[in-house]
Structure 1
Amino acid sequence: MIGLVLAAGAGRRLRPYTDTLPKALVPVGPEGDEDGRTVLDLTLGNFAEVGLTEAAVVVGYRKEAVYARKAALEEKYGIALTLIDNDRAEEWNNAYSLWCARDVIARGVILANGDTVHPVSVEKTLLAARGQGSGIVLALDTVKKLADEEMKVVAEPGRGVRRITKLMDPADATGEYIGVTLIEGDAAGILADALKTTFERDPGLYYEDGYQELVDRGFTLDVAPIGEVPWVEIDNHEDLAKGREIACQY
């Protein structure tokens, strides 16, 4: 099993940082420390802590910044990195971005969005869920109070995910998908096909819409509750401030 990070997005709501950097390389260290840790640093550190020695990073917007840091990241975290180019990162959404990594998914991956600040306990929770017949396991926050913007999930005992979408009454949701998934290699083929169906239907769709496509086909996606842990998806400057508070805790 290897790590996989989606880091192709532009993150325009984080300008001026993202004028020159992809969102995954926006600093999440103390204010003013522009050379400090990034979301990509934190994620690679988590991968290393759970024993992963390889990772793939899907790059697109400002990919040259990731290429420039590749060697230093490999040395710092002891992880061999493969960079995968998404040639449509600024035109299409991340269903296509994840599909670009279909070959490495066949090795089995822990997938992490390039904008999610989270502790290594999330990866440990997902790895602990292996071996129970689950091909895909989503990290789920069942504690947080939800609003309209979150990627909400309805899950049922014994049946797994039934719905995953932002377009849901928060009161109906079991919890929020935090952007981290364990995907076994055996599930790679059917996932790739579902993602292809999804972005061919609408290039603006999310990979979570691909997950819904799998559910609609009868494939079981399981969930692993992460407990009450600090995490944030960084979309804007308010989120970035929260990310900096959380990042300094670990």
Structure 2
Amino acid sequence: MIGLVLAAGAGRRLRPYTDSLPKALVPVGRAGIEAEDGPTVLDLTLANFAEVGLTEAAIIVGYRKEAVYARKAILEARYGIELTLIDNDKAEEWNNAYSLWCGRDAVRHSVILANGDTIHPVSVERTLLDARDGEKKIILALDTVKQLADEEMKVVADPVKGVRRITKLMDPAEATGEYIGVTLIEGEAAPELADALRVTYERDPQLYYEDGYQELVNRGFRIDVAPIGDVPWVEIDDHDDLARGREIVCRY
């Protein structure tokens, strides 16, 4: 098993940081004067991968990819993880269904996929690994504690059938929980997932990879969930999220 990080996004709501950096390299150090010199989301994700024993990871890069290439050797030495960088040639034009499709060959190795804008503790990776049973092919990390609103990636999951719906466009009251942007994908699922992602971005290049998950569900493919419990995490989209992320990092 290897790690896989989606780090191709521009994160325009985080300017001026993202004038020169991809979102995954925005500093998220401790709140206060040290914050600007702190670790990035990519640092924290690779640290989690290393802590659960992963020694290889692929990073899908696009917007300001040169910044990731420049740090590759430093990150490898810091976390003891061999990194492969995968270029997304449409990172500034298309959404992340295509971005994950670009990593389809990496998925064949079985992966823990992490969005490049999600700060979360290593307990999330451990929860996903503990949920493996030889039968589950795709397992989503699910927050069943948080109060949901319109912007969250909401999931309806059935105890017997697994995921039934995954979308932002849902009444929060209907949802089982929120998908936090971390997934365990077994290698056997790679061909079917790649095809579902291809169909998804060909239908509309602005769709999310979660729409690819829904395509799989619609085809009868079972996707499971693993509740992460009451743990601090945040998806960093704007400066308010970044401030929240810096508070969370203090707890790790």
TM range (shorter): over 0.9
Paired letter, 1:229:
V
Q: Secondary structure at the match of 1:76?
A: helix
Counterpart of 1:142? 144
For 1:145 and 1:186, locate their aligned partners in 2 and report how far apart those are by CA, in whole Å.
34
Q: 1:117 aligns to what? A: 119
Name 1:82's counterpart in structure 2.
84
Q: Which residue of 80, 93, 104 maps to 1:91? A: 93
Partner of 2:177: 175
1:21 maps to 2:34: no
Match of 1:3 in 2: 3
For residue 2 of structure 2, what is the amino acid of its counterpart?
Answer: I
1:131 CA displacement: 1.6
In structure 1, the residue matched to 2:110 is 108
Deviation digits for residues 78-111 of structure 1 (CA, Å, limit 9, x no counterpart)? 0000000000000000000000000010000000
Segment drifting more, 83-92 vs 129-138 = 129-138
- Output the CA distance in 2 between the equivalents of 1:140 and 1:108: 19
Q: Deviations over 1:212-236 (max 9, x none)?
A: 0000000000000000000000000
Q: Distance in 1 between matches of 2:246 and 2:191?
A: 37
> 3-state SS of the aligned residue for 2:149?
coil
3-state DSSP of counterpart to 2:21: coil
Q: Deviations over 1:57-98 (max 9, x none)?
A: 000000000001000000000000000000000000000000
Q: Would you say how many aligned residue pairs link Structure 1 and Structure 2?
A: 250
Aligned to 2:135: 133
Q: Quick one: which amino acid aligns to residue 133 of structure 2? A: G
Partners in 2 of 1:123 and 1:32 — Cα distance?
30
For 1:140-194, what per-residue CA distance to the aligned partner results, in whole angstroms no more than 9, with x for missing partners?
0000000000000000011000000000000000000000000000000000000
* Deviation at residue 211 of structure 1 after TM alignment: 0.2
SS in 2 for 1:4: strand
The equivalent residue for 1:42 is 44
- Structure 1 residue 132 displacement after superposition: 4.5
Matched, 1:152 2:154: yes
Describe the SS at the equivalent of 2:180: strand
* Aligned-partner Cα distance in 2 for 1:132–1:4: 20
Equivalent residue letter for 2:29? G
Write the letter of the residue equivalent to 1:97: S
Runs of 4+ aligned residues of structure 1 deviating over 4 Å after TM superposition are none
Structural mapping, 1:180-219, within 5 Å: 180-219=182-221
Q: Residue 88 of structure 1 aligns to which amino acid in structure 2? A: K
Within 2, Cα distance between the matches of 1:18 and 1:167? 28
Amino acid in structure 1 at the alignment position of 2:138: I
Query: Are 2:74 and 1:72 equivalent residues in the alignment?
Result: yes
Aligned equivalents of 1:124 and 1:231: distance in 2? 15
